[in-house]
Amino acid sequence: MTLLAHDRYCDEIAHQVGQLRAVLSSGTDLATTVPPCPDWSLEDLVRHMGGALRWVDALVRGRAQENIPWERIPLAGGPEERGDAAALDKWLAQTGELVVGALREAGPDTEVWSWQGNATSGFWARRMTHEITVHRADATLTAQVPYEVAPEIAADALDEWLDIALFFQQIRGQEEAFRLDGPTRTIHLHATDADPALNAEWLAEFGADGIRWWRGHEKATVALRGPLTSVLLAFYRRLPLDAPGLEVLGEREALEFWLQRATFG
C-alpha cells in the first residue's frame, strides 16, 4: 500500500471543507435530519466535523504527546448561536484554514499523539481527509445534491477503512458487538469504473484467524461491484447494498455481517 503525499492530503482537506461549505450554502434547512446518521441534523453534522478538525489542529499545532480533552479545544463546538448558517460557514472556513495550516507546517513525520500506532501528523492528515470525505457525503445525501470524490482519494479511503477495521479487531475484536470470527470468508470489492492503473479492487478475509486484506482480483465468498464512489459509500454504510449501480454477487449475508460488525466502535 502506498500512501498519498502529505500535501495531497492537505489539499484535499481544504477542498473538502470548501465543498462542505457549498452544501451549507445550498439552502438546505440546518435542522434537516442526516439520513445515514439519524440522530444528527445537518447543523450537528457540520459542528461535529468542524470540531474534529479543530481538535486535530490543537493536537498538531501543540505537538501533543497525549490526548487533549474536547473541552480544552477553543470553539470546538462551533458558534454559540444555533441555526445561523452564515456564522456556521464562517467558523468552518476558519477551521479549515487552521488545520490545513498546522498540518502543512508540521509535515508528515512530526510526532503527535494518536489513538493508533502511527503517532504522527501524517496520520492525522490522512485521517481527517477521509473523515471529511465521508461526512461530506452525509451532508450531500441530506441536501440531495450530487457527490463526487477524486478516484485516488476514494481508493485510499477504502485502504484506510480496512486498516482501521483491522486495528479495531485487534483491540476490541473479542467483544460480541465486533466479533468477526466463525468460518473464513472473503469479500471482494470491485470498482468497475476506475482506471486500471489505480488497481481499485480489494480482498478482505475474516474469520477465526482474524482479518487481513490486500489489493487484487480473486474469487471470494461475496463480491460488491459498482462505481468506485458507490462502493466506498456502501462499504462505509452510507448507501444501501441495492443502491443503483451496485451489485452483490455470492453470499450477501457475509457482506452484511461484516458491515454490521466492522466499525470504528
The arithmetic mean of pLDDT across residues 248-261, rounded, is 96
State how far Cα 248 lies from the chain centre.
22
For 158-261, which CATH class? alpha beta
**What ranges do the domains of the chain cover?**
6-143, 158-261
DSSP state of 174: T
Q: Is the pLDDT of residue 264 over 90?
A: no
Whether the CB-CB separation of 52 and 128 falls below 8 Å is answered with yes
Q: Which CATH code, of 3.40.50.720, 3.40.50.300, 1.20.120.450, 3.90.1280.10, is assigned to 6-143? A: 1.20.120.450
Please give the model's pTM, rounded to 2 decimal places: 0.95
Quote the CA–CA distance of 1 and 160 in Å, as a whole number.
Answer: 10
Residue 142: what residue type?
A: T
DSSP characters over 56-101: HHHHHHTT-SS---GGGSTTTT--SSSS-HHHHHHHHHHHHHHHHH
∠129-243-177 over CA atoms, to 5°? 65
What digits encode the pLDDT tens for the residues 134-184?
999 999 999 999 999 999 999 999 999 999 999 988 888 788 878 898 999
What pLDDT, on a 0 to 100 scale, did the predictor assign at position 199?
95
The arithmetic mean of pLDDT across residues 30-56, rounded, is 97
What pLDDT, on a 0 to 100 scale, did the predictor assign at position 172?
81
Per the listing, cell 471470494 goes with 220
Q: Is the pLDDT of residue 1 over 70?
A: no
Number of H helices, E strands in the chain: 7, 7
What pLDDT, on a 0 to 100 scale, did the predictor assign at position 181?
86
Q: Is the pLDDT of residue 75 over 90?
A: yes
What pLDDT, on a 0 to 100 scale, did the predictor assign at position 56?
98
